[in-house]
Amino acid sequence: MLYNLHTHNYTANSDIFEVVNRYPYEEIDVPYLSTGIHPWYIDIDKLEEHLAIIDQRLGMNNCLALGECGLDKRIEIPLNVQQEVFEKQLLLAKKHQKPVILHCVATYQEAIAIKKQLKMEEPMIIHGFSKNAQVAKQLLDNGFYISFGKYLLRNPELSAVFATVPNDRFFMETDTIEEGLELVYEKAATAKNIEIEELKNIVSNNFKTVFKNG
């Protein structure tokens, strides 16, 4: 079994366990999902409505995580507004004891600070990681998990970064890419210099550790 931490495209492939992103305004049309307010799509007028939907969904067994949610310095929505929305969602993750799938763009320091400030004990996973080994180490040192996908396929230098991540702290994903999850696993196994079967076992164990009912 392959595990896809984060995708927007449900494939219904019986060999893949998929955590499919469904925003609060999207229907639940998949077996397992995560739900949250992406910083790009913050709608202040509907914030309370969306938070109520997230609260309700996080209480469901098949809603495995909060997310994707997070912070992004490259958009026009002010960072203080993003932080307020992010923190409200994190409190819901704490309430329901669910992991968090994070969108972070140029905001790793802020994410680390908020994690400490709110004393988050729930697993927090940076999705779509694309940075260097120094950033990866800082995140790992602060208790984050890291998920790899698109950039592992696109950026040859990221393989060396991925190779430094401890085996109990990473996930695989496809997000919105057209390439299949199998390709991501192949690239990751090559980077770690291990067989695909071993990689599958590693990710499976990580999934069961973090999601409890994976």
Query: How many CB atoms are closer than 10 A to CB 56?
Result: 13
Cα(157)–Cα(48) distance, integer angstroms = 42
**Contact, 102 vs 67, CB < 8 A?**
yes
Q: Does 87 belong to an annotated binding site?
A: no
How many alpha carbons lie under 13 Å from residue 142 in its C-beta half-sphere?
21
Query: How far, CA to CA in Å, does 177 sit from each of 15, 31, 52, 210?
Result: 18, 20, 30, 24
- Helices and strands, number each (H, E), in the chain: 8, 8
**Contact, 20 vs 32, CB < 8 A?**
yes
Q: Does 127 belong to an annotated binding site?
A: yes
- Dihedral sign of CA atoms 105, 64, 178, 197 in order: positive
Q: Does 175 belong to an annotated binding site?
A: yes
Q: Which residues are annotated as a binding site?
A: 68, 103, 127, 175
Q: Which residues are annotated as a binding site for a divalent metal cation?
A: 68, 103, 127, 175
